[in-house]
Amino acid sequence: MHRTPSPGAAHEGLDAVLTHLERLKSLNLASGNDLVVKRRLLDLYFAADPTILDAHCRVEPLLIPTRAGVIAAERVRPAETDDTPSRRLLYIHGGSWIAGSPASHRPLTARLARACQAEVIAIDYRLAPESPFPAGLEDCLDAWHWLCREHPDDGLLLAGDSAGGNLTLACVDVLKREARRLPEAVLAFSPATDQSWESDSLTRKADVDPILDASLLPRLTRLYLGQSAAEPGDPRVSPIEGDLAGLPPTLIQCGEAEILLDDSRRYAEQAQQSGSPVKLSLWADMPHVFVGFAPLLGAANRALEEIARFADEHCAARSA
C-alpha cells in the first residue's frame, strides 16, 4: 500500500476544493428528492475552478451498440496532438448510479487520455431509477465487448470512479467468470465496492468527508436495484463479494478523508490475499475522487503521474 504524506505541495488547492464540495453537499441536501436538480448539481462536481474545466481536449460523439439498442458515448483525445493513440481506455463515470455523464467527467477523462497516452471512450450508460440494475452494468459490459471487437490488437484499459468504479470492478468480475478478454490494466478511483454498506469508515470518516453522506447510501442502493431480484451480496452489485483471484493489474486511488476509504482498503486487501496484482494508493486528507481536480489540486497532479507510470508498466503500447 502506498500512502502520501500530509504536508507539502500535494495540498495545494485543497481549500478551494473542499469549499466547493461542501457547498455542493449543502445544496444537494436542500434539493430534497428532486432528482433533476440533484443530477444538475452532480454535473458540477469538478467545477471547483476554471482551470479544471478547461481540459483542452477533442471530443467526438459516437454510438455504441448494446443488447438494449444503443448508448451514446464520446471519444476524448488531448487537443494538442494528432497522433494516433497507443491505447484505448473505456471510462465509466460516477454519480451514485443515478447521475453523471461523459460531459460531467470530461475534465478527468481528458487528463486520463494524456496520462495514459490513450483514446478515452466515455460511455453514457443507463441510470437508475429509470433503468435499474442490471441495465447500467449490461451497457458497460456491451461497451467493453464493442471496444474489444473494434480494437482487438490495441492495449485496452478499463477505468471508473465512485459508482463507476463499482461498475468497473463488477465488469471485471463478470468478464473473468465468463472467460472474456480482461483489460490489460484497471483504474478505480474511490470505488464503492460493498453495497451492504458495512465498511467502518462510513462512520469513522463521516466528520471529515466534505461531500458524501453515509445515511443516504442505502437509499441509493434501493434505487439502483429497483425491482431486481439481486441482493447487495451479489458480486455484480458488490464486487468485494466476488472471487478476487486472477484479477488484472489494478490501481485503486482513494483519499483518506472520505467515507468510502475502507471500501477501497478492504477490496485491495482481499484481492492481494487472493494473489491478484492490486495496488492501493491512499492519499492523506484528500476527498472523494480527488484526481478529478487537476490541475488545481497538487495531489491530483501527482495522482495522474502515478496513473501514467501504472499504464506504462502494465498496458503495452500498440505495436506499429
pLDDT value of position 317:
61
Q: Which three cell numbers stand for residue 297?
A: 489540486
Question: What integer is the mean pLDDT of 36-53?
Answer: 97
Catalytic residue, chosen from 258, 281, 306, 314, is: 258
316: confidence class by pLDDT, cuts 50, 70, 90 = confident
Residue scoring higher pLDDT (265 or 84):
265
Q: Which three cell numbers stand for residue 224?
A: 439502483
Q: 220 and 129 in contact (C-beta within 8 Å)?
A: no
- Alpha carbons within 13 A on the beta-carbon side of 127: 20
pLDDT higher than threshold 80 for residue 318? no
pLDDT value of position 44:
97
CA distance 212 to 254: 14
**How many CB atoms within 10 Å of residue 23?**
15
319: confidence class by pLDDT, cuts 50, 70, 90 = very low
Catalytic residue, chosen from 162, 199, 238, 264, is: 162
pLDDT value of position 79:
82
pLDDT in tens, 95-135: 999 999 999 999 999 999 999 999 999 999 999 999 999 99
pLDDT value of position 302:
97
Q: Which residues contact 155 (CB under 8 A, 6 or more apart)?
A: 86, 87, 88, 184, 315, 316, 317, 318
Question: What integer is the mean pLDDT of 79-96?
Answer: 88
Whether residue 288 lies in the annotated active site: yes
Whether the full predicted model's pTM is greater than 0.85, yes or no, is: yes
85: confidence class by pLDDT, cuts 50, 70, 90 = confident
pLDDT higher than threshold 80 for residue 3? no
pLDDT higher than threshold 70 for residue 7? no
Query: For all residues of the chain together, what is the average pLDDT?
Result: 94
pLDDT higher than threshold 90 for residue 82? no
pLDDT value of position 320:
40
CA distance 264 to 132: 24
pLDDT in tens, 170-229: 999 999 999 999 999 999 999 999 999 999 999 999 999 999 999 999 999 999 999 988
- H helices then E strands: how many in the chain? 10, 9
**Fold of domain 2-314:** Rossmann fold (3.40.50)
At position 298, the amino acid (one-letter code) is G
Question: β-pairing, 69-78 with 57-66?
Answer: antiparallel
CA distance 173 to 160: 14
pLDDT value of position 86:
79
pLDDT value of position 155:
96
pLDDT value of position 83:
73
Residue scoring higher pLDDT (317 or 270):
270
Residue scoring higher pLDDT (308 or 319):
308
Domain boundaries, the chain: 2-314
Nearest to 291 by CA among 236, 259, 251: 251
Location of C-alpha cell 441482493: 231
Q: 197 and 217 in contact (C-beta within 8 Å)?
A: yes
Nearest to 221 by CA among 133, 319, 124: 133
pLDDT value of position 5:
47
Whether residue 60 lies in the annotated active site: no
CA distance 260 to 212: 9
4: confidence class by pLDDT, cuts 50, 70, 90 = low
Q: Phi and psi (nearest 5°) for 54?
A: -85, 80
Question: What integer is the mean pLDDT of 56-67?
Answer: 96
Catalytic residue, chosen from 11, 20, 105, 288, is: 288
Instruction: Tell me whether residue 202 is exposed, middle or buried, using C-beta atoms within 10 angstroms of its C-beta: 0 to 12, 13 to 18, 19 or more.
Output: buried
